[in-house]
Structure 1
Amino acid sequence: MITPAFELSQYPAFLILTTHVPCSRTSEFDLYIDGDDFKFYAEPYFLR
């Protein structure tokens, strides 16, 4: 698994996560958010 390049920004009411996953299709990814847990998977990239 490869950790994708990512950027994290924070505002008083929002948390913004930007990922860069070259050679990946947007129809082929999994995103999981539950409270403080965040998981992103798009083969071969994984971010937790």
Structure 2
Amino acid sequence: RTGAAPQVMAALRNLAISLHRLAGATNIAAALRHHSRDALRPLQLLKII
């Protein structure tokens, strides 16, 4: 892996974890799995839709 891609991916994962914590999730792994199953769920978490 070269370039900035690994750092960007880590930053996005940290953002996702932080958003789940702010939303009140207690089990982060389960919350990440739950939201990864449907493309609209992350947008709902962000209150975009």
TM-score bracket for this pair, using the shorter chain length: under 0.3
Structure ranking higher in helix proportion: 2
Greater Cα radius of gyration, structure 1 or 2: 2
The TM-score, its normalising length taken from structure 2, stands at: 0.26
The TM-score, its normalising length taken from structure 1, stands at: 0.26
Structure ranking higher in strand proportion: 1
Greater relative CO (CA pairs within 8 A, separation 6+):
1
